[in-house]
């Protein structure tokens, strides 16, 4: 089975993915990390030098390659991956794939993002918590249509990563 983790920035897709992978003895693939490895550029460098259209085409290609691998896998997607092209439909229609949305309330996401903003080019320029809340709210509103198509929705608010990972495994098996 391929377990695809989707959600907004800082929802825990990578860190929770590691816990699930360890628990199930599955491989973990972070799609952004895979793209960086194969393209020999960081995601932000790809955006700067080759543009978003190129990045989104490569992202869709690597997503499909991972799903077609049909191995036991935890696949952690970038926050925007389900929202472009036919990526979410492809995930939902694929055999042996379960999609899990790690859903966080805006205050939960903002509190996590404020701590990590220097490592995230998309939000590095945001100065105040109020501006971050407005940005996340607008962005999440645009993306929630796609995120909510996931087969399983797990609320991450006020839970540890271990609790979330256990809840996902219990729900799936």
- For the stretch 65-115, pLDDT in tens is 999 987 899 999 999 999 999 999 999 999 999 999 999 999 999 999 988
Which pTM value belongs to this model?
A: 0.95
Q: Is 14 annotated as a binding residue?
A: yes
Q: Is 79 annotated as a binding residue?
A: yes
Average pLDDT over the chain reads 94
For residues 160 and 26, give the distance between their C-alpha atoms in angstroms, rounded to a whole number.
21
Per-residue pLDDT at 127: 87
Q: Is 112 annotated as a binding residue?
A: no
Q: Is 33 annotated as a binding residue?
A: no
Which residues does 36 contact at the CB level (< 8 Å), separation at least 6?
42, 43, 46
Per-residue pLDDT at 138: 96
Residues of the chain with pLDDT under 70: 118
Q: Is 38 annotated as a binding residue?
A: no
Per-residue pLDDT at 118: 67
Which residues does 85 contact at the CB level (< 8 Å), separation at least 6?
56, 60
Tokens of 88: 């979410």
Quick one: which of 65, 40, 61 has its CA closest to 50?
Answer: 40
Per-residue pLDDT at 122: 78
Backbone angles phi, psi at 64, to 5 degrees: -65, -40
Q: Is 30 annotated as a binding residue?
A: no
Per-residue pLDDT at 70: 78
> Which domains are present in the chain?
2-172 (3.40.50.300)
Backbone angles phi, psi at 27, to 5 degrees: -80, 155
């Amino acid at each position: 089975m391929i377990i695809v983790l989707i959600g907004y920035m800082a929802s825990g897709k990578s860190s929770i993915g590691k816990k699930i992978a360890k628990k199930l003895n599955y491989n973990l693939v972070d799609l952004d990390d895979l793209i960086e490895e194969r393209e020999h550029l960081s995601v932000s460098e790809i955006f700067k030098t080759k543009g978003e259209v190129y990045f989104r085409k490569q992202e869709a290609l690597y997503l499909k390659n991972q799903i077609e691998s049909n191995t036991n896998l935890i696949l952690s997607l970038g926050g925007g991956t389900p929202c472009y092209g036919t990526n979410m439909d492809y995930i939902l229609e694929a055999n042996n794939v379960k999609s899990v949305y790690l859903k966080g309330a805006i205050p939960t996401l903002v509190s996590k993002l404020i701590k990590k903003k220097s490592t995230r080019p998309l939000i590095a320029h945001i100065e105040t918590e109020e501006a971050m809340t407005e940005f996340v709210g607008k962005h999440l509103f645009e993306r929630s249509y796609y995120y909510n198509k996931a087969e399983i929705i797990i609320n991450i608010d006020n839970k540890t990563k271990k609790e979330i990972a256990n809840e996902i495994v219990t729900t799936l098996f």
